[in-house]
Chains A and B, each alone.
Chain A
Amino acid sequence: MAAMKNPKIGVVLFPGANCERDTIHAASLLPGASVRHIWHKDTSVGNLDVVFLPGGFSYGDYLRCGAIARFSPVMRSVVEFAEKGGIVIGICNGFQVLTECHLLPGALLMNESRKFICKNIHVRVERNDIPATRALKKGDVLKLPIAHGEGRFYAPPETLQALEANGQVVVRYCDQSGNITREANPNGALNNIAGICNERGNVFGLMPHPERAAEPILGNTDGWGILQSLLM
């Protein structure tokens, strides 16, 4: 894919999403980017290069996380956009929505501790050839915040095997030095999986919040590389 100048970015606003303003703010820091929100009742995402599904509690998450958002009018258009090769990035609740609408395999289950967890964790970059990680190096260790109650990645054995075989795991929970350990896994995710992509690499979902780690004043800029990748 050619380098993207002045990317047109949309952030879907589901009712109950609560990271949409953060995501818009962080994406707007990209030089040349134009960023707007996409209302969940819209039937088309319009002319965009990148669609973000932000974090939050879409529709209150009273059923399964992301299970209702999947049926919102805009999602049909998001799926079409992805099928045409458009870049779709789901963060936290957005990742859950992506699995619910089958743009990504697997599911996000309740954390092993059965509690909501908010803290900084580390992830290791497993591949840097997809649009969302091109500015990073394979093996980079990023410190990123997580904030979720249901982030334990799960997939049936054959799906998991296929994911690994295809190299669809993009980021994995690790310790500060990049070792994949049990202790470094905050929620019990299978194979320490923090984020995956589809086979084509244009759809990427992750539990950590890069948009919360993109400015020096917030004490952490490790998420910036993921955003910056969109310009490359």
Chain B
Amino acid sequence: MKTVEVTLQTALDHKLTADEYELIKKHMGRNPNLLELGIFAAMWSEHCSYKSTRVHLRRFPTTGKYVVQGPGENAGVVDIGEGLTAVFKMESHNHPSYIEPVQGAATGVGGILRDVFTMGARPVASLDCLRFGHPTHEKTNYLVGGVVHGISHYGNCIGVPTIGGSTRFHECYNGNILVNVMNVGIAPRNKLFFGHASGVGNKIIYIGSKTGRDGIHGAVMASDSFGDESESKRPTVQVGDPFTEKLLLEACLEIFEAGIVEGIQDMGAAGLTSSSFEMASRGGSGISLHLDRVPAREELMQPYEFMLSESQERMLAVAKPENEQKVIDILKKWDLEAATIGEVEAGHKNVRLYFHGELVADMPVSPVVDAAPKYERPMQKPAYLAQTSAFNTASVPQPADINETFYTLAGSLNLCGKKWITEQYDTMVGINTVFGPGHDAAVLRVQGTKRGLAVSAGCNERYVYLDPYVGGMIALAECARNVACTGALPIGATDCLNFGSPMNPEIMWQFSQSVDGISAACTALEVPITGGNVSLYNQTGDAAIFPTPMIGVVGLFENVENAVPSFFQDAGDILLLLGDDLGEIGGSEYLKTIHGHDAGLPPTLDLKKEKALIEILRELADKRLVKSAHDISEGGFAIALAECSLQKRLGCAVDIKTPLRPDFALFSESQSRVILSVLPENRDAVAALIKKRGVPCEAIGVTGGNSVAVVINGVLALDAAVERFVTLHKTSFEKTLFPG
């Protein structure tokens, strides 16, 4: 290997600061060589070290009755009873998906799947939360097509159903789309595996695909010491192979079943570097690795490339010497690569890297993993808020024709159906899907038990933009409410925090406020965060995306047969409206789509009321007293009623009294509201139970007919034909994005 002298400039080229470079030299007690510097740069990158956000993330509530494993492992774990756990996490793949939508999105799915199955879980469901730019932006439909194809290809092939999520559009994402994927797996509680490397003499085994030069960050590829120029200009987006991942999944699960590994970790961001250092750190061990023994896809690969490649479908495992061959045999059975590349050593707490016998890096584990600077970046309340919060919603003109306004909203890209996307996903493979896309939350049965899981993921970024604290609260609360609508108890959450540059004090303020809002909701609703991911620098030039802290919530059914659908089931059922309409139009789809404003204050949220609502929803489901339950969210009361009509094309007749303007009463997005349908004979009993919990409840009408008709204060305010709504719901997405 050619020796390159490392200077301050080399460090700067690796996106380290001068101060960080000094700190590295201090920890090393000498000048690092290029390989060592590259490792520090990767591990101290924002992506791996969370150096700008760690001071905020520690405010998340992370413990609770159901939590088995909180943040810090490959994925979070909650107890779901009968000796089983749910393992789940959400992660972003935003930048790669913008550059190369198909592979970027596909490898995003692959990455999160590995995080889950590396814990010993069989992945049972994925949810994708996508954000794209304005529909007329030149790249939008190309990106939509590519991302959906990538997710569909990878998820369908590996055989994990994609059963939910959310897709929204806003011009703030024109130059920075979001591709966040959540995965949930099931693992026996006594067979969870962790990313630990310990036990002197234990073997470190490389598993999976060969290592190539893909994914080595362009920014880090600053040296020309690797020979051929063109070699260093390879695309930095990795290519995914779901077939290999499927084999890897089955091989790993077979290895776990046999109980022959002590620790295992996915090679995700920063590949072999992060997996080896993090496992050594968690195990409190020193390890040696022989990089020339790593299966290589290309010739003449150098240590720097082996350590920093992000080739996909690879894992690092630690096994006792007597089990080494058994592990390798299982991998061979599945036609996968396996090689013992190192071992856990006594007498030191370093990672020592060898290449053809020569020691090429010798680095203390703790500084690399734990000593990245933690920055308290300056924060400042954004200037735009003065203007957006001063917006007077009362100044908005009343629409001349409410029915047409309703149809416009129903056919808008954020509110219309997303079957164009979800029908490209295998939503049923695994035969666990009780409720697929379209319901408030996806519902899965847990095989071998009567139990089930409900999962919901999303975030209304406009609310967060207009008030990051309240928006953060609502993001968590709405997912929890969705889960509760199906009758499940929300027990744990994951997050994927997508923001602009942390160097901008206004962005850091948004970040900090959102974390506090989410935390407040987690505490009040008893839904702790068990893990997640941060994605910063989502901006083009100075234009940052709306702050988008995506949330995923997992809920538990003791008896999944009690799951409540989101759609009206039969004509003649009584409609009950839970919660209060405060006429909140700020931040609504109505205000944006009809009047063109991203303005006002988002709806308020009373966490005590939300908690009471969630509890009563669960109680009613357990007692099998409701036939359908649907949360009122984007688009308000009118859209929620219409959505209830979708599955059985069953309308409703509603009569309400309100002091609000008709457009506000129909389209306000006031929180903590749910529409229930119940049998007429259960009406009084249900209403009494609801009122006992202190939740406002009113009988507002009856299901049936072929229109959604709403009488307000004695006047027919909305009379929407179910057929026309269904058609708009079904066709608008394709018509808007892929006309002709």
Contacts and interface: CB of A to CB of B under 8 A. Distances in A.
A55 B246 CA distance: 14
A212 B156 contact: no
B247 A219 contact: no
B429 A147 contact: yes
Contacts of B247: 15-16
Given A119-B423, A218-B434, A57 B157 contact: yes
A13 B9 CA distance: 55
A19 B432 CA distance: 12
Contacts of B244: 60
Nearest to A20: B159
A59 B243 contact: yes
A183 interface: no
Contacts of B433: 218
A219 B434 contact: yes
Interface string A110-123: 00000111110000
Contact of B434 (A26, A55, A209, A217): A217
A115 B428 CA distance: 17
A149 B427 CA distance: 14
Given A118-B424, A212-B428, A18 B246 contact: yes
A22 interface: yes
A15 B334 contact: yes
A169 to B, nearest CB: 25
Interface residues of A, number: 30
Interface in B674-695: none
Contact of B242 (A60, A119, A145): A60
A205 interface: no
Interface residues of B, number: 30
Nearest to A214: B431
Interface string A61-76: 1100000000000000
Contact of B447 (A25, A57, A118, A209): A25
A217 B445 contact: yes
A145 B424 contact: no
A12 to B, nearest CB: 15
A100 interface: no
Given A26-B431, A147-B156, A217-B434, A60 B424 contact: no
Given A118-B424, A147-B156, A217-B560, A22 B243 contact: no
A195 interface: no
Contacts of A217: 434, 445, 560-561
A19 B426 CA distance: 11
B729 to A, nearest CB: 15
B732 interface: no
A215 B434 CA distance: 10
A86 B293 CA distance: 48
Given A209-B428, A215-B431, A218-B434, A62 B423 contact: no
Interface in B238-263: 241-244, 246-247
Contact of B429 (A22, A61, A219): A22
Interface in B611-666: none
B378 interface: no
Contacts of B447: 25
A-B pairs, 5 with minimum CB distance: A18-B159, A60-B243, A57-B157, A147-B426, A22-B431
Given A25-B431, A57-B157, A57-B159, 19 more contacts: A15-B243, A16-B246, A16-B247, A19-B429, A22-B429, A22-B430, A22-B431, A26-B431, A57-B246, A60-B157, A60-B244, A61-B243, A62-B243, A115-B423, A117-B424, A118-B427, A147-B427, A212-B431, A218-B433
28 contacts: A15-B334, A18-B157, A22-B429, A25-B447, A55-B429, A56-B159, A57-B156, A59-B243, A60-B244, A61-B157, A115-B423, A116-B424, A116-B426, A118-B423, A118-B425, A118-B426, A118-B428, A147-B426, A147-B427, A147-B429, A149-B156, A211-B431, A212-B429, A215-B431, A217-B445, A217-B560, A217-B561, A218-B434
